[in-house]
Structure 1
């Protein structure tokens, strides 16, 4: 059984140039009810648009973050918070931390100079929000908290994987010129 209902939309009923029968497909997720519009010949999602993460973020980490966004888009805010936490866990593992507990792994990143004061505080706040989502309680994660979690997690990923690499490139280039 598929998680999607599918509707085919044709402009004129004729196959495309490659012989494929549909111009567009409208998919409706049976789990969350959210529609997706695809340009079938190019296998490209047209709506809702997916904003890609910055280059440099490892695919395994980006996949977790995109799933967090998908949960948010489906109004599953508690699940989005859990996926943000999972993204942080993946980032810590990918960064080579030796500690298993996320609290300690984030401390290790701080102690190794990979994240500083405010970034460490952000990461810990995201961890706590993810714990709130992962463990049953009467309090669910709000839309606003989930939106902030996505923004803060993306900023943290950009710092670790994008800005740090850019800064190192800049420093290396400047040092090469000085020598």
Structure 2
């Protein structure tokens, strides 16, 4: 979003340093277009009004005006944890590259390949992806919510993989990437962290139970010395 009401151009952006949406002041703009190289591009340099950190954004024109601002520096890419198997990270990175190149239909197809990889990495290789996902659920490898996520991604993959006369939208491709990241994080990062947490807590509980308790101290008789009770 851009605001020119203050006299200096303002943009509402996500600051990489503040890690939150904030106003930013435009510091410079460069427009470039060479028909032999590519499409028109608009590069905008801004500085965060909160922390003064610089950010660089790119917009491109595919014939319908400038598209949304996309941060190119610092990189907006989120890298997956090394706990996610490398083949799956590679598939997801390919999907991200397609998205960054604005090939949204191709990004959706690559997300589908990531789903197929998740099944294969868990030794589930049914005739179709939907059958593999159902077996994953039946084997308690994913719960009902993750199954629903994965099935929606599968449907979007099919729309992208087969000719329908329409393209996958940027919004659908972005959601597909976010959901696939969440799926990978849940299966390979959060689940492992929970197991570590549970084992650590279980070890502390066993250690506490093994500590011997001190015998109770006998209380002295309330009878005063030299005086016998009747």
Structure-2-length-normalised TM-score: 0.56
CA, structure 1 residues 31+124, in 2 after alignment: closer, same or farther (shift >3 Å)?
Answer: farther
Counterparts of 1:70 and 1:110, CA distance in 2: 30
Q: CA deviation at 1:130?
A: 0.3
Within 2, Cα distance between the matches of 1:170 and 1:85?
Answer: 32
Deviation of residue 48 (structure 1)?
Answer: 6.8
Alignment length (residue pairs): 139
Structure 1 runs not aligned, ≥5 long: 1-29, 35-45
Q: How far apart are the structure 1 equivalents of 2:123 and 2:37?
A: 36
Cα deviation 1:156-177 (Å, max 9, x = unaligned)? 0000100110111111112222
| Deviation of 1:79 (Å) | 0.1
Cα deviation code 1:51-73 (max 9, x no counterpart): 31123011110000001000000
SS in 2 for 1:100: coil
Give the secondary structure class of the aligned counterpart of 1:115: coil
Which whole-Å CA distance do the structure 1 matches of 2:158 and 2:79 have between them?
Answer: 26
| Structure (1 or 2) with the greater strand fraction | 2
Q: 2:194 and 2:83 mapped to 1: Cα distance?
A: 13
Larger CA Rg, structure 1 vs 2: 2
TM-score by structure 1 length?
0.72
Displaced runs of 4 or more, over 4 A: 30-34
| CA distance in 1: counterparts of 2:186 and 2:193, whole angstroms | 10
Q: Structure 2 regions of 5+ residues with no counterpart?
A: 1-35, 42-71, 207-230
Please state which structure has a larger fraction of its residues in helix.
1
RMSD: 2.1
- 1:77 aligned to which of 75, 97, 104: 104
